Amino acid sequence: MSADLSKTAYDHLWMHFTRMSDYENAPVPTIVRGEGTYIYDDRGKRYIDGLSGLFVVNAGHGRHELAQTAYKQAQELAFFPVWSYAHPKAVELAERLAHYAPGDLNKVFFTTGGGEAVETAWKLAKQYHKLTGNHTKYKVISRAVAYHGTPQGALSITGLPALKAPFEPLVPGARKVPNTNIYRAPLHGDDPEAFGRWAADQIEQQILFEGADTVAAVFLEPVQNAGGCFPPPPGYFQRVREICDTYDVLLVSDEVICAFGRLGTMFGCEKFGYVPDMITCAKGMTSGYSPIGACIVSDRIAEPFYRGGNTFLHGYTFGGHPVSAAVALANLDIFDREGLNQHVLDTEAGFLGTLDRLRDLPIVGDVRGNGFFYGIELVKDKATKETFTDEETERVLYGFLSKALYDNGLYCRADDRGDPVVQLAPPLISDQALFDEIEGILRTVLTEAWTKL
């Protein structure tokens, strides 16, 4: 391999969601090591991992026992599919996930990532309704600005038009409703409960508009990622559950980010007191030490597939991979042994309070989120909530802010999927000292960013 990793990366590594021309004459940031809440580049410089890789490394970097677990499992059984066969680690992990999941969500369909889990849930919802006599139910409802993945079906469910436009036409039947960004609420912005009821009722109106006999499922994240960490208003999910039950529509909780401690509970739906029909999850299940995902399904929805000659004609070669399943089990052991979920619950108020100190900056319009998952929305005018123009987004967010945060030692996300936001989701082992360090870097960089508007 070439000694110049940056040049080789530009020549051969097609990076994901990356404008490759940006690196034609600039070095590609190259991370070579991680330890705890920090990552290190190829020059030895240390950075706070303020995004847990990509909402993934929940237990932190450098967990040698997870690497050793993978090594041991690969020696014993490196691969076998779960196509009409089982292997011990897939069985054990399925049982454990069923134990953690609420209600009767006891059936686990393994994938290799989150987008595949979402794809699985839509296909399963369509076939479930066919098996139960509702042959016209195929549509799905999701929220504006929401991100649900890149496969053709998951991309259709995604509510970000710019991400979909290059690949259209996509899978038909995906409809959108308003999200729960109360900071920019069109109604009831001063009354969270009324706003939550309004936002949930938009789902009912969309079901009625489409025809209840055509709608198969509703896909919602407990805290919506894209747009900048929108938490649900009080009562929102209880009303959504009621609506779905009324019209025989399945409720899918997309927890690719929110599961496995990100909000302080094993699944985000627990935090907000609702029981979905399916949970899609991935990322933090192994803390990123090996890829795996899953769609966890209620007994009621699985029941028709366990009858007669019915088969769910769907699967992935690497779904339930023995090494990944073993690593997931060891990762969940760490969660239990170290009480990571409780640590998030105990310290989330401190994290939010630390970030709230940034509200004194003129560029900070809103700070929102839950658990260890927060977004800071940037504005030109706090009084009017005026957002950036396209030119300002390009110049300030991408041209300055992203690089400046990184150069100052903080890896996080500065994005404009929706409005300009900085997102933070550090490893679940983070403490107040790290929160203070994050706030200090943000304060320095955001203060300078204001001068560039």
- The tens place of each residue's pLDDT in the chain, 453 residues long, gives 556 888 899 999 999 999 999 999 899 999 999 999 999 999 999 999 999 999 999 999 999 999 999 999 999 999 999 999 999 999 999 999 999 999 999 999 999 999 999 999 999 999 999 999 999 999 999 999 999 999 999 999 999 999 999 999 999 999 999 999 999 999 999 999 999 999 999 999 999 999 999 999 999 999 999 999 999 999 999 999 999 999 999 999 999 999 999 999 999 999 999 999 999 999 999 999 999 999 999 999 999 999 999 999 999 999 999 999 999 999 999 999 999 999 999 999 999 999 999 999 999 999 999 999 999 999 999 999 999 999 999 999 999 999 999 999 999 999 887 889 999 999 999 999 999 999 999 999 999 999 999
Q: Hey, what domains does the chain have and what are their CATH numbers?
A: 5-51+339-451 (3.90.1150.10), 66-337 (3.40.640.10)
Q: Find residue 368's DSSP bridge partners.
A: 375
Supply 134's token pair: 């509702």
Tokens 């690719």, residue located: 256
Residue 54: enclosing H or E segment and its boundaries?
A: helix 52-55
Chain-centre distance for alpha carbon 241: 21
Q: Are 205 and 165 in contact (CB under 8 A)?
A: no
DSSP state of 28: P
- What count of other Cβ atoms lies within 10 Å of the Cβ of residue 160? 17
The residue to which tokens 């003129």 are assigned = 362
CA distance 376 to 285: 26
Distance of alpha carbon 92 from alpha carbon 72, whole angstroms:
16
Determine the Cα–Cα distance for residues 39 and 171; give it in Å rounded to an integer. Answer: 39
308: left (phi over 0), alpha (psi -120 to 50) or beta: left
> Cis (ω within 30 of 0) for the bond into 166?
no
pLDDT at 207 (0 to 100): 98
SS3 at position 415: strand
CB 69 within 8 A of CB 430: no
What does the block give as tokens for 174? Answer: 């995906």
- Residue 137's nearest CA partner among 244, 221, 58 is 244
- Encode burial over 263-287: b for 16+ CB neighbours within 10 A, e otherwise: bbbbbbbbbbebbbbbbbbbbbbbb
pLDDT attached to residue 3: 64
Burial class (CB in 10 A: 0-12, 13-18, 19+), 26: exposed
What pLDDT was estimated at residue 63? 98
Give the per-residue pLDDT at 2: 59
Task: Give the burial string for 303-320 (b: 16+ CB within 10 Å, else e).
Answer: ebbeeeeeebeeebebbb
Contact 192, 115 (CB under 8 A): no
pLDDT of res. 5? 87
The tokens describing 26, both together, are 């600039």
Helical H segments across 212-305, by residue range: 236-246, 268-272, 299-302
Return the amino acid letter for 204. Answer: E
> Token digits for 264?
């302080």
pTM: 0.97
Nearest partner of 377 among 369, 398, 437, judged by Cα: 369
- Could you give the CA distance from residue 192 to residue 196 in angstroms, rounded to a whole number? 6
The kind and range of the H/E element at 177 are strand 174-177
